[in-house]
Amino acid sequence: MRLDVVTIFPEYLEPLNVSLVGKARARGQLDVRVHDLRHWTYDRHSTVDDTPYGGGPGMVMKTEPWGDALDSAIADGYEAGAREPVLVVPTPSGRPFTQEVAVALARQPWLIFTPARYEGIDRRVMDEYATRMPVHEVSIGDYVLAGGEAAVLVITEAVARLLPGVLGNVESHQDDSFAPGAMENLLEGPVYTKPPTWRGHPVPDVLTSGHHGKIARWRRDEALRRTARNRPDLIERCDPVAFDRKDREVLSILGWAPEPDGRFWRRPRDVEE
């Protein structure tokens, strides 16, 4: 996969050299190119922003540097043999970045990121590139960062670990929170490793029983408990066919009951408790 990042803070992307993403780059699974937006400014002050049309506070990133920088990154990518670019625009006003979006982006051969600063990028830049390629505006959460570089790091790490061969153990992400399949819409439960007892805290017996069926069931129960406690909205959204008889028992103990449409809702009695 090829990744291009255009930014006014190339050094902010240094973490892409370490750990999982760094190793994927070293192995040639990820080809990351970071471009300094200011390279495509032509005035003495390397200006990338200007006052907003219509007035108001803050500054807006200008069309020209972005257009020239993106054209150059795109031309360079095509020359290197990359195909089918997708523009990923981090913005708090984008669609939520979820595991599902990460899976979809991991299937793309080429992602181009446009982390912005100030009040964001002049809208015409996204409109222009939308005529040439898919454009995904994504938000990593309901809060506002000072810039999009941290969002690029988040998205890149979530995407890179899904690429074939990047994680040592291919099964590692199958049990993850939000992983498609049996655990879809459930958070992963707690995990443990040696020693068996630490400062008086033992590991749950079932995990050392060697009984795979019981361990799988315990993990599922814990996932249900954690999701019901931390993200009840995920349980409410779950397709009820995903719940087996034992899931339903656990949910019932936790105060959840099926509505006539089959979806689970927490009983009001328990909400008041």
Distances in Å between the Cα of 34 and the Cα atoms of 5, 153, 260 are 5, 12, 53
- Near ligand SAM by CB under 6 A: residue from 92, 232, 240, 255: 92
Catalytic residue among 36, 68, 119, 184: 119
Residue with tokens 């803070």: 9
Chain mean position to CA 261: 31
Q: How far is the CB of 135 from ligand SAM (least distance, A)?
A: 14
Among 13, 82, 88, 139, binds ligand SAM (CB under 6 A): 139
The DSSP line for 130-185 is HTTS-EEEEESSSS--S-SHHHHHHHHHHHHTTSTTTSSSTTTTTSSTT-SSTTTT
Cβ atoms within 10 Å of 57's Cβ, excluding its own: 7
Please tell me which residue in 38, 161, 231, 248 is annotated as part of the active site.
161
Nearer to ligand SAM, 66 or 110 (CB): 66
List the structure tokens of 254: 């936790």
Among 106, 126, 133, 145, binds ligand SAM (CB under 6 A): 145
**Closest among 28, 61, 30 to 159, alpha carbons compared:** 30
Nearer CB in complex with ligand SAM: 65/189? 65
Among this protein's residues, is 263 annotated catalytic? no
Count of residues of this chain found to bind ligand SAM when the rule CB under 6 A is applied: 19
Q: Rule CB under 6 A: say whether 152 interacts with ligand SAM.
A: no
Instruction: Look up 92 and say whether it is catalytic.
Output: yes
Residues that bind ligand SAM (CB under 6 A): 90-93, 115-117, 119-120, 139-141, 143-148, 151
